A and B are shown apart, each in its own frame.
Chain A
Amino acid sequence: MKKHVKKVVSVLTVAVMLLSLAACGKSDGGSSSDNGGDSKDKVKIVVMPKVVGIDYYNAVQKGVDKASEELSDVAEITWQGPTEATVDKQIEMLETIIPTKPDVICIAANDPAAIQPTLEKAQEAGIKVVSWDADANVRDIFVNLVDYTVFGNAVIDSLASQIGEEGDIAIITTTFTATNQVLWIEAIEARIAEKYPNIKIVDTREAGEDTQKANTLASDLMKSYPELKGIIALGAPNLPGAVNAVVSAGKTGEVIVAGNSTPNTMKPYLEDGSIRDVQLWSAPDHGYLSVYTAYQLATEGLEEGKAFTAGDMGEFTPEKDEISMSIGLPLVEFTKDNVGDYDF
């Protein structure tokens, strides 16, 4: 008999747990509708990252939350993503979300080809699609990272200004095939050809996304080219590796390093002066801009060449691209003075 009592107790425990969960779900809904009339009139936006629970997307989520608060009277924004960065988990989540008929889905696609049919299904159901971070083949607009040319120019301009616009430089990249790397390096080469005739790229190496490997490569480069004036390290994990190599070789100030990485990683190096500035974009701004773009798309619509205001980030003008249209994030340059303002 005792056993049976235990069984009944555990069934009840499960039931209570589920019911209390339902209660929190409901109270959440209640509080948001208190803020601004009927939740059915609000624009419903779902923002989906590649994966949840990593630093970078947590930073993006802060921007989403900020926009969500500003728009709380007129829009209902949910942040949902898979715990693994795989496309099948994203597809399953989308297929579950589509019947709830949100107005806009913002997605950072883990695989553009595999997710295409699901996004087509969403569009057929009347849902607008915004891609952000990683593009999709089917979308109304793409909220891109910083324009590749703008980004490449900023990196080489920073380096050039620190080496007196002349001398030998080397590039450490992630892989020769990654789209962003290829386009950044093309932009850097074009800028050199146009503006810096005395700068010469003597070598380009692949480090993957590996701080240790970038460190070894940077040390080797300095040995192979004793006249080397600068190193461009592209890829967030590679820049600290290259800076470290220069510091341990005692060549700070002799060999200048430039490139892209995240503020939290680079903070110590910026503060002790081993690097002057780091180029990137603001991750929270990416979330913020994506939400405002989605809101604009759902309400007044977006048109090529017609500017819209994205909250406190100012005006953006969608430009035509191969699939539909896109906008890009502004470049952010981290220095020792502003790096503390960012947390990702």
Chain B
Amino acid sequence: MKKLVKNNFFVLILVLVIVMAVMSGMSDYFLTADYLLNATRFISETSMIGLGMTLVILTGGIDLSVGSMMALSSVCLGLTCQAGIPAGLAAAVSLLVGIAGGALNGYAVCKMNLPALIVTLATMGLFRGIALGISGGSAIPIPKSLYFLGQGSIGPLPVQLVITTTAYIVIAFFIYKSNFGIYLKGIGYNEEVAVFSGIKVTWNKVKAYMLSGFFAAFLGILFTCRVSSAKADYGSNYEMDAITIAVFGGASLAGGKVSFAGSYIAAVIIVLIRLGLTTAAIQTEIQSVIIGLILILAVAFNNFVASKKKIEI
């Protein structure tokens, strides 16, 4: 029992079970396969943006530009498709834009030695501004061939669920099983020590930001394909969702410690609360209050667990 209470993941699962129980009590539709499968579309989207953020937080940084990058990627996809470029290529362009944006963040943070909070706050405005500027703020329809990514299913599973879950497994594998993970943890735990240990700190950190940009752009594509049109105001406040998920999942904002399984479950919990409350016709203002309170309690709770843990490599 002692060990279980100490385990952050166990606690998250417990919260998830409570949330599921309460939500199904509030609405008859909640515990049905259709509803939950549909909900995984939203869950996957939110957990994907949390994945990039979790990586950056692991290095002790933060990326506030993910929501704006998502919008920029969406608009790029819309505009390139409109220009007659094949859908697959257009999606690749959006992903490249995401990687480039991430590289810009990484370069400014590592090479120019600027605080990540300020750099990404600036690029948050920058990316959103570009997205608004090139799209003129209006919605751009995308070709029907792309709808599959956002609305289709692989077997009974929504496409987003498959993609995001795969992405989590791949990233978690690299972090836990390869040197890349050890480097990132080392950097997050103590950057100076990492430098003296011969880790290529700059390059590894830049990689984390590029991955964050990549996943934000990927989400931009999935999201655009779900709602069938590209628009520059998508993803507002998603950076906050992403940070919430990472921290709720067990990440320390000081760096060096994250949990990918935790982030994934945290996304499930937060999105299910939000969707469940909407289905139960609870007013949006009250929803925000409830979600805020639950988060404060949950994070305070995580802190007890985190404070006693040593780094694990």
Contact = CB atoms under 8 A, between A and B. Distances in A.
A87 B11 CA distance: 35
Contacts of A52: 283-285
B227 interface: yes
B308 A80 contact: no
Interface residues of A, number: 43
B275 A88 contact: no
Nearest to A51: B284
A18 B16 CA distance: 11
A99 B229 contact: no
A10 B301 contact: yes
A53 B286 CA distance: 11
A86 B233 contact: yes
Given A18-B22, A78-B281, A100-B29, A13 B229 contact: no
A167 interface: no
A17 B139 contact: no
Query: Size class of B's contact patch?
Result: 35 or more
B297 A113 contact: no
Contact of A6 (B26, B38, B223, B304): B304
Contact of B141 (A22, A100, A113): A113
A164 B297 CA distance: 68
A325 to B, nearest CB: 25
Interface stretch (B48-56, B168-176, B195-203, B288-296): B288-296
Interface string B268-311: 00000001001111111100101001100110110011001000
B231 interface: yes
Contacts of B235: 88
A114 B26 contact: no
A4 B25 contact: no
A25 B284 contact: no
B278 A21 contact: no
Given A22-B22, A83-B284, A14 B278 contact: no
Interface in B2-41: 2, 5-6, 11, 14-15, 18-19, 22-23, 25-27, 29, 32, 34-35, 38-39, 41
**The 9 residue pairs across chains A and B that have the minimum distance between CB atoms:** A117-B228, A114-B139, A113-B139, A25-B26, A18-B22, A78-B281, A22-B25, A22-B22, A96-B278
12 contacts: A17-B294, A18-B18, A21-B22, A52-B285, A80-B278, A87-B139, A95-B42, A96-B279, A99-B35, A113-B138, A113-B139, A116-B229
Interface of A: 3-4, 6-8, 10-11, 13-15, 17-19, 21-22, 25-26, 52-53, 78-84, 86-88, 91-93, 95-97, 99-100, 111, 113-114, 116-118
